[in-house]
A and B are shown apart, each in its own frame.
Chain A
Amino acid sequence: MKQNAVIDENTGYTTEDGRKIGGVMMDLRNITLRFGGVEAIKNISFDIREGEIRAIIGPNGAGKSSMLNVISGFYKPQEGEVYFRGEKRPPLKPYQVARQGVARTFQNIALFEGMSVLDNIMTGRMGHIKSNMLSQAIWAGKAQREENENREAVERIIDFLEIQAIRKTPVGRLPYGLKKRVELARALAAEPDLLLLDEPMAGMNVEEKEDMSRFILDVNDEFGTTTALIEHDMGVVMDLSDRVVVMDYGRKIGDGTPQEVRNNQEVIDAYLGVAHD
């Protein structure tokens, strides 16, 4: 696969806080997704640029999570194309998409409850394992070397997200806020190019939201990870994101910087409702 093939000649822009945003990493063109007779996504196009924090917002049932599922390969859209790094993505299985460098978290936490925090995060590195089963069975040579390299990488993320103390705890015993953080750690362990966060702050109190926001910004800042997130807390969205897509009833009703979106009449109508006369 070609790396860093930029299709958009109009390369990037600079954000208000001076971060340099690169060319288009993921380009979604005319995506339509149907479940039987229901059109969950109607002909939506937008792009995600290298290094950017891109938010997808919209009222409940707007099709935001479906959109994320299309990006991560879990849903196959009936129409439209997904371009990743300038190349049209063939229909891939979700794990193949993951191995291309797309990692995600889930709206309802989807951790492996029976495993420890460490094992959960190590599972995130599945795409980095090359040793075969035989060498794993005798636990020597390549398998062990790889295990230790991956452990080192995972420990860096554990440090980064400040979850050292719960490393060996079974995930089932953790409180909600920490589970969310472990899930972020598991996604980061894959060292993704594109990180998808489905409501990373749902159900959190103010302090936890602040922590999580700080982590998202730090991840973007330190690893340069491109992030697409769905979030309902408008304050958070407006503060974090560089550009925002607004969806309503499966349609795209707005796209632009937080400031632009905030002043978009259609967006205001969707959120506040309009008088039908």
Chain B
Amino acid sequence: MLYREAGDFKTTYVADSQTFPLKLDRIGFWVTLAVAWLVIPFVINDYWASSLLVPFLIYAIAAIGLNILTGYCGQVSLGTGGFMAVGAYACYKLMTSFPDVNIMIHIVLAGGITAMVGAAFGLPSLRIKGFYLAVATLAAQFFLVWLFNKVSWFYNYSASGQINAPERFVAGVAVTGPNTPAWAQYLICLFFVTICAVIARNLTRGTIGRSWMAIRDMDIAAEIIGVNPLKAKLTAFAVSSFFVGVAGALFFAVYLGAVEVGEAFGIQKSFLVLFMIIIGGLGSIFGSFAGAAFLVLLPVALKWLGVDVMGWPTDLVAHFQLVIVGALIMFFLIKEPHGLAQLWRLAKEKLRLWPFPY
């Protein structure tokens, strides 16, 4: 009854092309944003930040990035972990080489460096498609991890081969290093999530997004009607890698603090982010958030249910988790390839007519 578009008339093209055409959606969006910015920072504690909110926000950025490439432009990538590693190591090198520059700038620059690396690894996409491209990006994943292990310049010749985030401050508050308060960790991630989501949304609803989707849906027709495939594919790789790089930088500097590349940015990470966008919904910004929330929340929820409530041994619960994630992936691929975002969309469509479906 409440959620409907009847009477919500658009009189300008600006109003018609806005992100949330329905008033209730707009209100919901601003309320969510207000809660995220004004309420959560005051109530957050270490547990919530480190086990749920911060990883959720960081994975959301990575998922938006991969969704631009795979969901919008149709180029399957298994190199997300590798590109996150590029962001992390770029951020580390920048932090240690230019300690006086603000960390926020370093994170953005790390994204920019990853964008260039991503565009370079995107070059094969001009020739190959589908599975073959996935294999090429898989090569990028293994090559990048190998590179960061092998070349000690990247980890400043440290004996352990790890990189450790030195303490850096934004407006006098530590945001990296061991003394970071939970709310600062949360806020810096939220800041980047907000900006990334807005940029991603603007790009995908405009010209460049259309050229990505045209390439995804029918690349030959797209080229014949005037889409430059080289530009569309490489910008998709670059923009996607930018987001993934920012996520990698945050993951290293703000969330983990110390990183060993094979462990933090291995192939599992690539698959995890890919699962997020499959479960969340390919070609949807909301789906990226939903998928990231789901896969971050699932292990925590299962652990709580299995270990704390049922009293099962931890390893049993961990195995169950693998089974459940696997089953869910299959379920979504078969039943709803557009993921949670599509379920949400359908629910909204039904809700518009409720309670009089005809």
Contacts and interface: CB of A to CB of B under 8 A. Distances in A.
Which residue, A119, A126, A151, has most C-beta atoms of chain B within 10 A? A126
Nearest to B226: A98
Nearest to B221: A110
Contact of B225 (A131, A143, A186): A186
B226 A127 contact: yes
Contacts of B207: 122, 126, 129, 131, 136, 143, 146-147
Nearest to A144: B14
A115 interface: yes
A103 interface: yes
B78 to A, nearest CB: 22
A115 B73 CA distance: 12
Contacts of A106: 221
Contact of B210 (A94, A115, A139): A115
A88 interface: no
Interface in A2-57: none
Contact of B211 (A74, A126, A146, A147): A126
Nearest to B238: A133
A64 interface: no
A152 interface: yes
Contacts of B283: 114
A94 B223 CA distance: 6
A167 to B, nearest CB: 9
Nearest to A113: B217
B94 interface: no
A151 B222 contact: no
A1 to B, nearest CB: 16
A115 B226 CA distance: 17
A98 B214 contact: no
B301 to A, nearest CB: 32
Interface residues of A, number: 41
Interface in B249-285: 283
B194 to A, nearest CB: 13
B199 interface: yes
B224 A98 contact: yes
Contacts of A144: 14
Interface in B209-229: 210-211, 213-214, 216-218, 220-229
A72 B325 CA distance: 48
Contacts of A147: 13, 17, 206-207
A52 B218 CA distance: 30
A272 interface: no
Contacts of B13: 147-148, 151-152, 155
A74 B219 CA distance: 12
B159 to A, nearest CB: 42
Interface residues of B, number: 31
Contacts of A187: 225
Interface string B10-53: 00011011000000000000000000000000000000000000
B203 interface: yes
B235 interface: yes
A133 B224 contact: no
Contacts of A186: 225
A98 B214 CA distance: 15
A103 B225 contact: yes
Given A103-B225, A148-B14, A110 B210 contact: no
A137 interface: yes
B202 interface: yes
A74 B226 CA distance: 12
A182 to B, nearest CB: 12
Contacts of A214: none
B223 A95 contact: yes
A143 B202 CA distance: 10
A190 B283 CA distance: 26
B97 to A, nearest CB: 27
B207 to A, nearest CB: 5
7 contacts: A115-B214, A123-B210, A136-B207, A143-B206, A147-B17, A152-B13, A190-B225
9 closest residue pairs by CB, A with B:
A98-B226, A110-B221, A112-B217, A139-B202, A126-B226, A151-B13, A127-B226, A94-B224, A136-B206
